[in-house]
Structure 1
């Protein structure tokens, strides 16, 4: 999408709509930015910095007119794991490296590859992330004290169970007020952001009714500064790059997936069309710059993007306005934000987790009881009980293996003969019987992809059904749409076997890709250029003309309509010259 297209026909009325949408999304983004930062194991202001810097850059440089960027729930388990393992400073370096990877992906035009990630894998890890986010907020919801957060699910659950005796009733009341407002607000006024209203109402209630009895942002993380941090370039060494590259790659992959999925949804809501490679470049630049201001990795935020569209956004200006609004709030209201109870923020993240859980899609795939269901469950469980990297790797490998197996099983190889009772005497497998099968001509219909996952089955099926000394083998390949090197190798083995026995191989109806591949490998020359036919009927006529007619005398199989004549010594003498003449003409 060119810059001129993004602002084509821009007017004052559209600017006004962008200002309104940007204001609303900015207000929605403030509590989410802080909540995602806290859940990721860093101070809440770092989420605000990310919302400001990345939000403005993603809207300004990305490939979608309506995309809103910032910290998201999908990153929470990854970032928390990096913070625990490497520390906050190294998280910034990992985010910067991820930005570079995203830019390279965009420049190499790899944005289209994201769509090839199987749906069960994305649903599986998204649902798993939702479980992790939800469970991580149970402690804050209940006001449990002295909790130690761990990287993995089971230790965190054990921590909660062993500290249930520290339950804080006041924190729980605060959380319930916030949750109640969150659930009621959409029914009262869906224009007002429920997360912000819930945060404000519960914070006021906690301050007025039980001040000092609940943990706040200020008491836990210190006061939120009312300014952006100064530009700080982290020290990056080759050893640091080697150490953090795997983490950076996962951040980049997940960021790319989520941003492009969000852009696709935005396209569906508006009828527009995003530029996936430009979106990756914009996301990459934002993630390169944001760590320099202390911000955590960012990506396209689906819920905020949808809110932006629903409130009338017409251009990237709304996304830029959203970042400016958050900056102004930081400058003016930072001291008040320090008084927000952690219990007020827990329901916000829990609702986010519930909304991102893809529960309906999860249940839909589960009900199919297919290999997709298996991939979904494995990816989900590995996300929850191990880590996202393992889950995605195993999920993708499983999906690939099962796909190959499914495609391999779809290949069918059937020995066939013409059915005189059908129009045009179509060939059918049921016509081949012990007493009805030509001893000299073996004809097979091959359907499916002839690739490494099915090639051995193809060769085995043909070789087992061939006569001991096959004179002519006819392969009907009109429904073989793809042939790879493994398929070609097994076909060459069949050709070699038949020719070694003194026979010939004929091929009918072969499609463009397989024929071109045979030409590149030279196998078509070994088969013989005159042995390729457009129609099966032509190939059968040619084959009958090349048969040893002495073996036809007295044959009772009557596999072809010509057999009635060829099996009779009297009538064979009448038809034989014309058959040989026809075959010679075809060879010429």
Structure 2
């Protein structure tokens, strides 16, 4: 059922929605807002837009994600995963292009939710999500070197290796003051949690560095020196100013789908992590719809794409947040901060914001998970490395597309290898000649000598695993094993859960060739899906229902009777 989690909690008078919990949610919301403040500003700048755009996103999108979302504790806003994609869109199409792409992405996400695709997106292979997340982290880090060290580079190349070549070529232009402020900011962010876990290290670094630069009049590049005065108002965009034609909209479809896909994956991963922390379950489809609405609303007020933020969501849970009220308070608190303190944002050093994003990059890298996957199977390592390297060297879209294709091919290969077709004739014969069990087959074997022709005139093949296009060649190899004096083949299909059209076509080919050689095929213990396919296509009526048996023993008995009848004739 598509109903926002907040509405469900209120309607059913959830036991957690009491005065004490509401107070805890308000406190958690304030704490998360303080954490989100420097991150939102830094991510806005890194995305190629002005600082307030990041805050607007956290306020507008953060509100709708909590108000309409399918998770109790999800905190939404701008995240590091989007930075590289958004910067590319802004560089090529400008701010208006980003607005259109964000609205389109929101529409796609709403479509995903209504089409119940929330559960499907969860099946993206883990090596792919780890690969592109780690790749984005490396690329994000590489974009912050110039501001962190104060390098004098007019135009930083967009390509990864060209960017680093430019950095190394301009190492002599490092601004010592800027570098010291940046490194001190890094140290504060890293060390402060060990001393005080209440106030976020990024906020402490922001305040300390800003005061130091202002009071000591340090010659360091700031938000004000780069962007001028920062707006503290939130206004609806003026649609009359838009000059986007159809051709540009068509070009923006691909990046919009990328934003929608990435936002969907990241938000649902965050929701899953949150579920594990609070012992509850989110509604993935409602979450996608809320994310879509939030992105459209963010764009209409001049913001950038947003998604569920794992770190901020975890902080919300650890601070006592248990209902969407915390996320709503977080958004309202950021609004107050923006209206009151935004004029002072112009004094924030750019190198401090770079230090914050360096830490974001490190946290995004998931290096422990990356390292663990390198000990996994060769196929998983291949998918991981392709995604990681292609994200760095090309872009996220190409990386995901190629990695998904490789993952699917490797999956098909593994599945085809798991499907085994074995000649069990001799096993059945030896097993029941020596068996002392008084089961149905043993009794029949002793009475009617059922094992007499097994392995010679009667061949029994046991198929284990799904019959699909990847296993078709294995299936057709049976023809090479059939002896010239064989009269009957029995296919035991007890362990075949399903069969696709390709494998079924191979089965019909085998049946046709066996008829040409005057060999009869019998089928035993066929499961529901393969049987339904053979009935619907008319295969069963064509070869006769008497060729299908509920037990392999009865199929062997019938085959033996047919052989004995031919011999007597």
The range that moved more, 243-252 or 365-374, is 365-374
Task: Name the CA shift for 1:379/1:422 in 2 (closer, same or farther; >3 Å).
Answer: farther
Alignment correspondent of 2:301: 293
Q: Given the alignment, which residue of 352, 373, 376 partners 1:368?
A: 376
- Structure 1 distance, partners of 2:358, 2:127, is 23
Alignment correspondent of 2:447: none
Does structure 1 retain, via aligned residues, the 8 Å contact 2:456–2:485?
Answer: no
- Structure 1 distance, partners of 2:470, 2:435, is 34
Give the CA RMSD over aligned residues.
2.0
Aligned residues: 544
Q: Given the alignment, which residue of 313, 324, 337 partners 2:321?
A: 313
Task: Name the CA shift for 1:86/1:95 in 2 (closer, same or farther; >3 Å).
Answer: same
User: Shift in Å at residue 548 of structure 1?
Assistant: 5.0
Does structure 2 retain, via aligned residues, the 8 Å contact 1:147–1:160?
Answer: no
Alignment correspondent of 2:210: 203
Alignment correspondent of 1:562: none
Alignment correspondent of 2:464: 447
Does structure 2 retain, via aligned residues, the 8 Å contact 1:470–1:498?
Answer: no
Q: Given the alignment, which residue of 221, 225, 235 partners 1:219?
A: 225
Q: Given the alignment, which residue of 81, 84, 87 partners 1:74?
A: 81
Q: Given the alignment, which residue of 129, 142, 149 partners 2:149?
A: 142
User: Shift in Å at residue 541 of structure 1?
Assistant: 0.8
Does structure 2 retain, via aligned residues, the 8 Å contact 1:217–1:338?
Answer: yes
The range that moved more, 497-506 or 314-323, is 497-506
Alignment correspondent of 2:524: 508
Task: Name the CA shift for 1:147/1:470 in 2 (closer, same or farther; >3 Å).
Answer: farther
User: Shift in Å at residue 437 of structure 1?
Assistant: 6.5
Residues 379-416 of structure 1, C-alpha deviations (whole Å, 9 max, x = no match): 00000110000000001000001100111111111112
User: Shift in Å at residue 150 of structure 1?
Assistant: 3.5
Does structure 1 retain, via aligned residues, the 8 Å contact 2:468–2:500?
Answer: yes
User: Shift in Å at residue 250 of structure 1?
Assistant: 0.5
Alignment correspondent of 1:468: 484
Paired residues for 1:146-165 under 5 Å: 146-165=153-172
Asked if 1:283 corresponds to 2:291, the answer is: yes
Paired residues for 1:418-567 under 5 Å: 418=428, 419=430, 420-422=433-435, 438-460=455-477, 462-468=478-484, 470-548=486-564
- Structure 2 distance, partners of 1:308, 1:550, is 79
Task: Name the CA shift for 1:65/1:107 in 2 (closer, same or farther; >3 Å).
Answer: same
Residues 205-254 of structure 1, C-alpha deviations (whole Å, 9 max, x = no match): 23333x24110011012221122234433455433321211111100010
Instruction: For residue 486 of structure 2, give the secondary structure of its aligned residue in structure 1.
Output: coil
Instruction: For residue 148 of structure 1, give the secondary structure of its aligned residue in structure 2.
Output: coil
Q: Given the alignment, which residue of 402, 408, 415 partners 1:394?
A: 402
Task: Name the CA shift for 1:520/1:388 in 2 (closer, same or farther; >3 Å).
Answer: same
Q: Given the alignment, which residue of 194, 214, 217 partners 1:187?
A: 194
Task: Name the CA shift for 1:423/1:333 in 2 (closer, same or farther; >3 Å).
Answer: farther
State the TM-score, normalized to the length of structure 1: 0.89
The range that moved more, 142-151 or 406-415, is 142-151
- Structure 2 distance, partners of 1:497, 1:358, is 55
Instruction: For residue 546 of structure 1, give the secondary structure of its aligned residue in structure 2.
Output: helix
Alignment correspondent of 1:571: none
User: Shift in Å at residue 550 of structure 1?
Assistant: 6.7
User: Shift in Å at residue 456 of structure 1?
Assistant: 2.2
- Structure 2 distance, partners of 1:149, 1:330, is 31
User: Shift in Å at residue 311 of structure 1?
Assistant: 0.6
The structure with more radius of gyration:
1
- Structure 2 distance, partners of 1:196, 1:363, is 31
Task: Name the CA shift for 1:184/1:422 in 2 (closer, same or farther; >3 Å).
Answer: farther
Alignment correspondent of 2:450: none
Task: Name the CA shift for 1:389/1:103 in 2 (closer, same or farther; >3 Å).
Answer: same
Instruction: For residue 459 of structure 2, give the secondary structure of its aligned residue in structure 1.
Output: strand
Gaps of 5+ in 1: 428-435, 552-575, 581-588
User: Shift in Å at residue 549 of structure 1?
Assistant: 5.9
Gaps of 5+ in 2: 443-452
- Structure 2 distance, partners of 1:400, 1:306, is 32
- Structure 2 distance, partners of 1:94, 1:109, is 23
The range that moved more, 394-403 or 151-160, is 151-160
Alignment correspondent of 1:44: 51
- Structure 1 distance, partners of 2:19, 2:424, is 72
User: Shift in Å at residue 146 of structure 1?
Assistant: 2.5
- Structure 2 distance, partners of 1:56, 1:544, is 74
Alignment correspondent of 1:379: 387
Residues 21-60 of structure 1, C-alpha deviations (whole Å, 9 max, x = no match): 1111111111101111111121111111111111111111
The range that moved more, 447-456 or 519-528, is 519-528
Instruction: For residue 183 of structure 2, give the secondary structure of its aligned residue in structure 1.
Output: helix
Residues 454-485 of structure 1, C-alpha deviations (whole Å, 9 max, x = no match): 1122112x101112353111111111111000
Instruction: For residue 505 of structure 1, give the secondary structure of its aligned residue in structure 2.
Output: strand
State the TM-score, normalized to the length of structure 2: 0.92
Paired residues for 1:213-362 under 5 Å: 213-233=219-239, 234=242, 237-362=245-370
User: Shift in Å at residue 422 of structure 1?
Assistant: 4.7
User: Shift in Å at residue 204 of structure 1?
Assistant: 1.9
